[in-house]
A and B are shown apart, each in its own frame.
Chain A
Amino acid sequence: MSPGVNVNFGDAQVRADYRITDRLRASIFGFISSDTFDRTEATGVGATAASARDALKYDFGRAIARLDYTTPELSAHWSGMLGFDRTGIVQVDPGRPDRGITAFGATMGTRAFLRWKTGAVATTTVGVDALGYDYTLDLDYSSPPGFAAVPAPQTNSRVVRIQTGVAQLGVGAWVEEILRLPRVEITAGTRVEIMAYQGNRHVVADPRTVIRVRAHERVSIIGSTGIFHQAPPVFGLIPLVGSPNLLPQRAWQSSVGTEVDLPFNLDLRVTGFFNRLWQLPRASFEFVEGQGGQGAMRARALSDGEGHAYGLEVQLRRKIERGIYGWVSYTLSRSERFIGNGKVVPFTYDQTHILNVALSWDIGSRLRLGARFQLATGAPTSLVNCSRWTTMPTNATCGVYDSDVDGFRPQYIAEADRLPTYHQLDVRADYKFMLGPLQMSAYVDVLNAYYARTAEGWVYQHDFTDRRPRPGLPILPTIGIRGEL
């Protein structure tokens, strides 16, 4: 293997729409993507020189077909999806067993509903849907240490090979009733789903309702609340890596807000929300009794995570007029997780303030300019309790030297620090032209146009007495061309 980096990515899509009759329309859409990252680097010196490699390959494809039948009194819809996902990860280091994941999965889904008027002010919808996947996995992964294990330097942990499969199928049926009164619209419904995965079966019921009140010809007030369930993530269900016994994730989501039509083609939306979360999967390395007569083992994954999120969203949008379209949105939010013993910490992706500004301007019929700016609070990160470079009043040392692993273990305070404020400007120019029968579009896209030196995290000195920001995206220009028939 010679040192170097190889990056390849590509995708293709096709779409066709067909009006069979005035009432019946059909469409198909296909998408396929393939991304590869492969890096090899020299390691070791002299007579013991070698090379290390890490590679990632991800391919996926989807085919979606859709039928819509519409009359003044009734509408019917059916859609179906077939797809595949293929993931390959390889990590090779001299002196360690190779690690890697090969996963191939087929996925399918279908959805159908029937909607008709059941009275002067009422509309009824009934529907069914199903979504499933079947993955085959081959893993060589670094397992957590066993019992009484003394950790080794350089994370030279035991590598375990697991060949297994993960299958999940959810079949749901739902009914929804919409009442349209002069100033009030009420939508109420319930969804019942059977979730089956890894030999476990769960039946969940999700009641939901939305109320929309037109307080003024330009002002509407909307309130909603409902229960939502979702199957655990696929990698959390892998036997011996996660747990097949994870429960469906559950959320109670509620919001109340207003929509205001303003002059100059502007509309304003303000929404407050509160979400309560239960049965979240979490990693656990506690020793527990195994099931079915197995001995003690590490738990790996449990379903007892809880949290909540709440906040306020404000969006001011200008509908497209004279070629100008844009919006400004601001979110003030807090997402937290309960980590036990009554302690609440910010969620890993919690951002207190998020400001987005986007503007698109069509200059004539061929040229369009666009820009997007984002400003956001830095993500939470655990604080290394070290008085030498934080302002925290503490006498603690920065870390304890672990002689077995030959490295320092810092004293973390969970999610007590934040990365610096994140900001980035992206700009784009599109130029349209015809090439024979093809409608062509050439574009220049520049991410991080003014090279904001954002931090993706911290890189610590070996003894945690100093740190540097891990740089984020550089200025990343992309030139592309697209054709449509």
Chain B
Amino acid sequence: MTARRSASRPADASRACGGALISWALIGCDPPPLEPRHKVTSPRILAIIADSPELRPGQSTELRVITGGLKVEPEFTWYVCARAEATATFVAQSTFGQAEPNDACFGDAGAGNVRLPFTGPNALFAVPADLLRRIEALRAVYGSNISTGRLTDIARTAGLPLTIAVEMRHNDPGADGGAPANTVVRALKRVVVIDRSQLNNNPPGPSFRFSAPRDGGAGGVAMRYVRDATEERCEPDDGSGPLVVRPGSVHEIAPAPTEQPWLERYFILDTFGQPAEQVETAFYSFYSTGGAYRDDRTRIPTRNTIWEAPLRLGSIDHWLVVRDGRGGTSACRFTVTVSNDGGTISSRDASSLPDVLETPPWTSSDAGAADVPHSDATALDGER
């Protein structure tokens, strides 16, 4: 596989330079594009789900990671900490002020870090019953400029965000068989500890329609969320088999426009310390091991996206993650098989795309590279 990647780079470079031959003296050669965020070509953490994302002191929350691109079983390490979210979020590039490192919650050495006794993709965290009365925890998040009495008020009205950090260690050989051993992938999320009656809930599992763009979301296949002991996945609602599409075909993925029942209203203590009411927003994120998305993150009302199947035949994993904008998350994986016999989904080739797609803003550089695995056609490893 290493040889294949090496062979593909000069081909990419020659295309980039060849097209610019006339203006070569002025412009030179453009570097290959950056890898899109939706393309899962190596082990990644795609989401962390806390069930539930808000909890009262004394309650526990179930934590689980949604992963992609794995070929071997990884090992997980879980941490919980209270950290100064204020500076970590905003001052990272400021001329003045030191940003708290985003990795401050990882490792056993960090002050206040708690290591959870789990090594798998699931963990359980129980909140101490007296947490909102622990001044040192409140100070770790809100700093030392606020009086103790005020801190207690803030803890009662706004709560205390805790950071959940997870390390995923894997010895995945990678696509070329030579990837670094014992690679570490780090991710974090927050859970809010607050003593109020209405706690935030995760969105329901994703449901969507997989169709051709001209169907306008009416045709195609309705997909529903299924969770079993091993994973969360989406599968055809009518019980039919896996989705099968033609190489290079274009499809619309339209999350069900039924967010209103689960979008919650809630109160916050805003940046000026004043109470304010907010409404959640639905955010959708799309990932895949092949092909190209036009938009890989959407939010209502523009929830839909377009996916172009690769030219290479094979099975493509997709993930759809929906977030409520304040920590609530749900996700599912679904599989699409690219086959010359594709017919489950009405599809069309690139020569008959609708107007909006005649000059697609995303470009799949695997056109004409049917003999190269899709993930290799845009490989950037040579730059690293």
Taking beta carbons and an 8 Å cutoff, which residues of A are in contact with B? 42-50, 94-96, 143-154, 156, 158, 160, 240, 280, 282-290, 294-300, 305, 337, 339-341, 343, 345, 347-348, 382, 388-389, 396-397, 399-404, 406, 409-412, 414-415, 450-451, 453, 459-463, 465-468, 475
Contacts and interface: CB of A to CB of B under 8 A. Distances in A.
Given A45-B213, A45-B304, A295 B270 contact: no
A480 to B, nearest CB: 24
B96 A462 contact: no
Contacts of B91: 283-285
B101 interface: yes
A158 B278 CA distance: 8
Contacts of A153: 283, 285, 297, 299, 323, 325
Contact of B146 (A160, A285, A296): A296
Interface string B177-214: 00000001111111010100000000000000000010
A148 B26 contact: no
B230 interface: no
Contacts of A156: 281, 283, 299, 325
B301 A290 contact: no
B302 A50 contact: yes
B181 to A, nearest CB: 14
A287 B86 contact: yes
B96 A339 contact: yes
A49 B356 contact: yes
A45 B355 CA distance: 12
B298 A44 contact: yes
A412 B92 contact: yes
Interface string B311-336: 00000000001010111010000000
A401 B145 contact: no
A288 B145 contact: yes
B186 A94 contact: no
A158 B99 CA distance: 22
B159 interface: yes
A216 to B, nearest CB: 44
Interface stretch (B4-12, B33-41, B108-116): B33-41
Contacts of B165: 400
A397 B356 contact: no
17 contacts: A47-B216, A48-B298, A48-B304, A50-B301, A150-B326, A158-B268, A283-B96, A294-B272, A294-B273, A295-B150, A295-B273, A296-B273, A297-B273, A305-B96, A403-B189, A414-B99, A468-B31
A48 B302 CA distance: 5
B121 to A, nearest CB: 13
Interface string B142-176: 11011100100110011111000100000000000
A400 B88 CA distance: 12
B145 A147 contact: no
Nearest to A381: B93
Given A42-B356, A146-B272, A411-B102, 7 more contacts: A45-B356, A46-B304, A158-B278, A287-B142, A289-B145, A450-B26, A462-B37
Contacts of A300: 271
7 smallest CB-CB distances across A and B, nearest first, come from A44-B302, A462-B37, A152-B325, A147-B158, A295-B273, A401-B187, A403-B189
A339 B94 CA distance: 9
A49 B305 CA distance: 9
Contacts of B188: 400-403
A409 B104 CA distance: 12
B268 A147 contact: yes
B276 interface: yes
Contacts of A290: 272-273
Contact of A289 (B147, B270, B272, B278): B147
B281 A411 contact: no
Interface in B361-381: 380
B2 to A, nearest CB: 17
B306 A406 contact: no
B294 interface: yes
B273 A401 contact: no
A95 B150 CA distance: 35
Contact of B194 (A148, A160, A287): A148
A414 B323 contact: no
Interface stretch (B43-51, B70-78, B239-247, B340-348): B43-51
Contacts of B321: 406
B127 to A, nearest CB: 14
B143 A46 contact: no
B301 A403 contact: no
Contacts of A400: 102-103, 106, 165, 186-188
B215 to A, nearest CB: 9
B304 to A, nearest CB: 4
Nearest to B329: A403
A150 B252 contact: no
Contacts of B231: none
Contacts of B185: 397, 401
B265 interface: no
B298 A397 contact: no
Contact of B93 (A152, A299, A382, A388): A382
A466 B142 CA distance: 34
Given A151-B89, A152-B281, A411-B102, A45 B323 contact: no
Contacts of A382: 92-93
Given A94-B302, A285-B87, A152 B283 contact: yes
Contact of A401 (B45, B194, B301): B45
Contact of B303 (A48, A147, A158, A410): A48
B327 A150 contact: yes
Given A285-B91, A389-B384, A46 B103 contact: no
A148 B140 CA distance: 12
B97 A282 contact: yes
A298 B271 contact: yes
Contacts of A410: 92, 102
Given A46-B304, A147-B268, A415 B295 contact: no
A350 to B, nearest CB: 10
B158 A148 contact: yes
B142 A337 contact: no
Contact of B380 (A286, A347, A466): A466
A148 B272 contact: no
A286 to B, nearest CB: 5
B323 A149 contact: no
B358 interface: no
B277 to A, nearest CB: 11
A278 B86 CA distance: 25
Contacts of A404: 189-190, 323, 327, 329
B146 A339 contact: no
Nearest to B89: A151
B360 to A, nearest CB: 10
Q: Which of B45, B159, B299 has the most CB of A within 10 A?
A: B299
Contact of B252 (A46, A148, A337): A46
Contact of B96 (A48, A340, A451, A467): A340
A340 B97 contact: yes
Q: Which of A146, A290, A397 has the most CB of B within 10 A?
A: A146
Contact of B99 (A43, A47, A48, A412): A412
